[in-house]
Amino acid sequence: MRIAAYWSQTVRGILRIAYKLLVNDRAKFAALLVGITFAVFLMVQMTSLFAGVLFRASATVVNVGASIWVMDPAVQTVASSIPMPDYMLDAVRSVEGVKYAVPISSGSGLAKLRDGTYQAVNVVGLDDATLFGRPGLLQGDIRDIYADNGFLVVKDSEFSKLENPKVGTDFEINNHRGVIVGIAQVASSGLFGIPTLYTTFTRALEYLPQQSFTISYILVEPKSQNDVARIKSAVGRLGYLALTKQEFMSQISRFYMYQTGLGLNLLLMTIMSFVVGLSISGQTFYTFVLENLEKFGALKAIGAKGYELVYMILFQAGFTALTGYGLGVGICAGLLFSAKLKVPDYAAVITFPILALAFVMVLIIAGISSYIGVRKVLRIEPFDIFRG
Amino acid sequence: MAQVAIEARGVSKWFGEGETRTVAVHDVSFEAKFGEILYVVGPSGSGKTTLLSLVSGILRPNEGTVAIEGVDIWKLADNALADFRLNRIGFVFQDFHLFPRLTTAENVALPLFLKKRDWDQSIAEARKYLEIVGLKNRADLPPVKLSGGEQQRVAIARAIISSPDILIMDEPTASLDGDTGRNIVSFVRNNILNDKRCIVVVTHDARISEFADRTLLMEDGKLKGIEKGNTHA
Ligand SMILES: Nc1ncnc2c1ncn2[C@@H]1O[C@H](COP(=O)(O)OP(=O)(O)O)[C@@H](O)[C@H]1O
Ligand SMILES: [Mg+2]
pLDDT at A51: 82
pLDDT band at A206 (very low <50, low <70, confident <90, very high): confident
Name the closest residue on chain B to residue A15, using Cα atoms.
Answer: B113
Residue at B186 is within a domain: yes
Residue B200: domain span: 4-228
pLDDT band at A5 (very low <50, low <70, confident <90, very high): low
Q: Which has the minimum average pLDDT: A42-56, A77-91, A193-207, B3-17?
A: A42-56
Instruction: State how many domains chain A has.
Output: 2
Residue at A24 is within a domain: yes
User: Mean pLDDT across chain A, nearest whole number?
Assistant: 87
Instruction: Find out whether B31 and B6 touch, Cβ atoms under 8 Å.
Output: yes
Residue at A309 is within a domain: yes
Sequence-distant (6+) residues with CB within 8 A of B2 are B33, B34, B35, B36, B195
A7 has pLDDT over 80:
no
Ligand 1 — pocket residues by CB below 6 A?
A 387; B 15, 22, 24, 42, 44-50
Both A6 and A124 in one domain: the answer is no
- Read off the CATH number of the domain in which B18 is found: 3.40.50.300
Q: What is the average per-residue pLDDT within A249-265? A: 85
Q: Which has the minimum average pLDDT: A90-94, A191-195, B117-121?
A: A191-195
Which alpha helices (H) appear in chain B, and where do they start and end? Answer: 48-55, 78-88, 104-114, 119-132, 148-160, 178-187
The predicted model scores a pTM of 0.78
Inspect the interface and report whether the beta carbons of B86 and A14 lie closer than 8 Å: no
pLDDT at B92: 93
Give B178-204 pLDDT, tens digit per residue: 888 888 899 899 989 999 999 999 988
A205 has pLDDT over 80:
yes
Q: What is the average per-residue pLDDT within B91-97? A: 88
**Order of strands, edge to edge, in the sheet holding B4-15?**
B22-33, B4-15, B63-68, B71-72
Both A176 and A300 in one domain: the answer is no
Q: What is the average per-residue pLDDT within A308-328? A: 93
Residue at B233 is within a domain: no
Both A120 and A193 in one domain: the answer is yes
Residue A153: domain span: 85-239
pLDDT at B232: 43
Q: What is the distance in angstroms between the Cα of B41 and the nearest Cα belonging to chain A?
A: 15
In angstroms, what CA-CA distances link A173 with A70, A123, A206, A270?
Answer: 28, 10, 10, 44
Residue at A244 is within a domain: no
Instruction: State how many domains chain B has.
Output: 1
Both A90 and A229 in one domain: the answer is yes
Name the closest residue on chain A to residue B112, using Cα atoms.
Answer: A13
Both A219 and A317 in one domain: the answer is no
Residue at B40 is within a domain: yes
B233 has pLDDT over 50:
no
Give the bridge partners for B223, in sequence order: B218
pLDDT at A50: 82
Both A119 and A48 in one domain: the answer is no
Both A34 and A177 in one domain: the answer is no
Inspect the interface and report whether the beta carbons of A294 and B94 lie closer than 8 Å: no
Both A278 and A150 in one domain: the answer is no
Cα B21 to averaged position of ligand 1 atoms, centre (Å):
11
CA atoms within 13 Å, Cβ hemisphere of A146 = 7
Q: What is the distance in angstroms between the Cα of A328 and the nearest Cα belonging to chain B?
A: 27
Instruction: Measure CA A223 to chain center.
Output: 32
Higher pLDDT, A357 or B107: B107
Question: What ipTM is given for this predicted complex?
Answer: 0.91
Residue at B211 is within a domain: yes
Residues in B closer than 8 angstroms to A382, CB to CB, are 53, 58-59
Both A139 and A92 in one domain: the answer is yes
Give the bridge partners for A170, in sequence order: A179
pLDDT at B230: 59
Give A128-142 pLDDT, tens digit per residue: 999 998 888 898 888
Both A224 and A271 in one domain: the answer is no
Both A211 and A305 in one domain: the answer is no
Q: What is the average per-residue pLDDT within A87-91? A: 92
- Which atom, in ligand 1's list, is nearest to the CA of B50? 17
The DSSP-derived string for B184-218 is: HHHHIIIII--TT-EEEEE---GGGGGG-SEEEEE
pLDDT at A2: 64
**Domain end residue (candidates: A239, A274, A303):** A239
Both A300 and A169 in one domain: the answer is no
Q: Give the integer Cα–Cα distance in Å for B100 and B91.
A: 18
Q: What is the average per-residue pLDDT within A36-47? A: 88
pLDDT at A57: 81
